[in-house]
Amino acid sequence: MSVSASGRPRASVLDFLDGSPTPAHAVELARSYLISAGFEELSEREVWTVEPGMRLFCTRGGTSIVACLAGELPPSRTGFRVIAAHTDFPCLRLKPKAAQALSGYSVLRAEVYGSPILATWFDRDLGLAGRLWLRAPDSGGGPGMQELLFSTGALCRIPSLAIHLDRQVNEEGFKFNREDNMLPVCGVGQEDPDLTGMIAESAGVDPERVAAFAADLYDVQPAATGGRCGELLLSGRLDNLAMCHCGLRAIESCPPGLHTCVLALFDSEEVGSRTSAGAFSNFLSSILERLAVPTTGKEQGMTGSRQDLFVALSRSMILSADAAHALHPGFGDRHDSSHRPVLNSGPVLKVNASMRYSTTAATAGYLRQCAGVAGVPVQDLVMRNDRPCGSTIGPILSSALGAASIDVGNPILSMHSVRETGGTADHEMMIRLMEAHFGPEVPLDPWIAPSRGSGQVE
C-alpha cells in the first residue's frame, strides 16, 4: 500500500471508484484525501491570505474542487502548473417525479445525462446515489443541512426484452426508445411508489425532513482488476474518475517547491461545462487570481496588481487529463492506422488539427520531456479524418486563461459504457507523469516562450 506525504495510507483507485457513484461523492472523497495530506479547506466567501508552501483547497457546488500547493516564489515569476480533469460521467438521473406504477410494476423514470452507451445499462443491478437537502429539525421547514445519499445494494434493474419477443435483435441490433423502454423496475405494485420515502430510507433520515434531492442511478458491481495477470482495470466511471485519482495522488505527494501547483476537478464536462461549477465558469480563474495577486504588501518586487495574474498565466502550463480511446481488437478499422494506443503501454498524447484537443507541438515536447523524467512511454492519438473528434476541458481552459495546455489521458476500452476497461500499469504511469509535471526537473519557459532562431534552413 502506498503512503501519502502525511504518512497516511493512500486509497487505491478501486476504493475511489467504488466510493464515487456521483460527482458529489467524488469531491467529498477528494476532500477527505486532501485533508489527510495536510491541505487546509478555504471558502470562496472569505478573503484569503496565502503564504508560500501553503496547502489549500476549495470546493464549489459540492461537485467541483480545486487544490493548490503554493510555491516559494510568486506565480508571476514561475507560473502555475495545473492538472485539470472532470468529476462527472454519463449516467441516468432521476426525474423530480420519477416514481410511477405501470402495468403492475413500480418503475422509475430517469433522464439521460451526457452520452452513455444506453444499451449497456440494461440488465444491470442499479443502485441510487446523490444528495439530499434536509430541513433542520424543529425549524418549521427552514433551511437545514445537506447529506450524501448512497444505497448499499441494488434498488432496480432495466430489463431487456426477451429474444422470443424480438427475434431479429442479434441481426438488426438492439433498438429501443429511451423514454418508453428504459424503465428501471424497482418492485411490483399497483400504486405509485413513494420516491421520497425510498430515498429517505436509503439515507437513513426522516422523510419529512427531505426538502429536495438530486439522485443518479449507478451500477453496483464493484471495481476490480482482471485479466491473466491482473493487468486490466474493470469499472464504471473510469472516464474520468481514474484521472481525478491520479491527480489527487500527484498533488498530495508533491513536496513544496518554487512554483505553485494546482489540481482542478470540474463537474459538467459531459454536458458542455457551461455551469457555475464547470470548466467554463470562473472557478479556476478566481482561485488563480487569489494566488497570483499578493495580499501581504510589496514583497520581493511584487506590485500587488492584477497584472501579476496575467504574467503568471503567460508562464503557466495546463495538463488536461481525460480518458483516451484504446485500440479495439474487434474494430481496428475505426482507428487511424498509425495512431493506435493500447492498454498498459503508457499515457496517450491527444492531437487534433482543428484544436478539439489543446495540444500544440511545443506543449507536446514539454510532455515528452516530463515523460522522460518520469520514465514512462507516451502513445499518440489522432482520429481518422472520416470520424468526428471529441473534445475536453483543455481547449476551454486554455482559451479562457490564455495559458499553454496539453491534452493527455490513459487509454480505455468501452468508453461511456456502464462498465469500462483500462490498464493497471497505465494508471501508475500516469501518476508518475503528473508528478513530473508538478516537479522542478522540467522548466516551462523553453516550451512556452522559446528563443527564436534565424529562420534560415541550411
Q: Identify the weakest region by mean pLDDT among 1-5, 203-207, 276-280, 364-368.
A: 1-5
pLDDT of residue 302: 44
pLDDT of residue 1: 42
pLDDT of residue 11: 75
Q: What is the CATH number of domain 91-219?
A: 2.30.250.10
Q: What band does 454 get if pLDDT is binned at 50, 70 and 90?
A: low
Is the pLDDT at 6 greater than 50? The verdict is no
On average, the pLDDT of the chain sits at: 92
For residue 285, the number of C-alpha atoms closer than 13 Å in the C-beta half-sphere is 16
C-alpha cell at 31: 476532500
Fold match flag (13-89+236-448 vs 91-219): no
Q: Give the mean pLDDT of 197-205.
A: 86
The candidate with the shortest Cα–Cα distance to 39, out of 26, 54, 60, 61, is 54
Q: Domains of the chain: which residue ranges?
A: 13-89+236-448, 91-219
pLDDT more than 90, % of the chain: 82
Give Cβ neighbours of residue 328 (< 8 Å, ≥ 6 apart).
334, 335, 413
Q: Which amino acid is at 315?
A: R
pLDDT tens-digit readout, 252-281 = 999 999 999 999 999 999 999 999 999 999
Task: State residue 300 phi and psi, 5-degree precision.
Answer: 50, 35
Q: Is 188 helix (H, G, I), strand (E, B) or coil?
A: strand
Q: Is 326 helix (H, G, I), strand (E, B) or coil?
A: coil
Is the pLDDT at 3 greater than 50? The verdict is no
Is the pLDDT at 24 greater than 50? The verdict is yes
Are 108 and 156 within 8 A, CB to CB? yes
> Domain 13-89+236-448, what fold?
Aminopeptidase (3.40.630)
pLDDT of residue 51: 93
pLDDT of residue 367: 98
Taking the model in full, what pTM does it have? 0.93
Give Cβ neighbours of residue 293 (< 8 Å, ≥ 6 apart).
304, 305, 306, 308, 309
Q: Is 242 helix (H, G, I), strand (E, B) or coil?
A: helix
Task: State residue 122 phi and psi, 5-degree precision.
Answer: -75, 145
C-alpha cell at 204: 437513513
- Name 234's bridge partners: 224, 421
The candidate with the shortest Cα–Cα distance to 248, out of 53, 69, 54, is 69
CA-to-CA distance for 421 and 428, rounded, in angstroms? 15
CA-to-CA distance for 122 and 417, rounded, in angstroms? 11
Q: Is 134 helix (H, G, I), strand (E, B) or coil?
A: strand
Are 316 and 387 within 8 A, CB to CB? no
C-alpha pair distances (Å), 119 with each of 18, 115, 235, 269, 416 = 22, 12, 17, 22, 11
CA-to-CA distance for 379 and 69, rounded, in angstroms? 29
The candidate with the shortest Cα–Cα distance to 184, out of 71, 132, 111, 108, is 108
pLDDT tens-digit readout, 407-451 = 999 999 999 999 999 999 999 999 999 999 999 999 998 888 766
Is the pLDDT at 10 greater than 70? The verdict is no
pLDDT tens-digit readout, 292-330 = 986 654 444 444 688 999 999 999 999 999 999 999 999
Q: Is 406 helix (H, G, I), strand (E, B) or coil?
A: strand
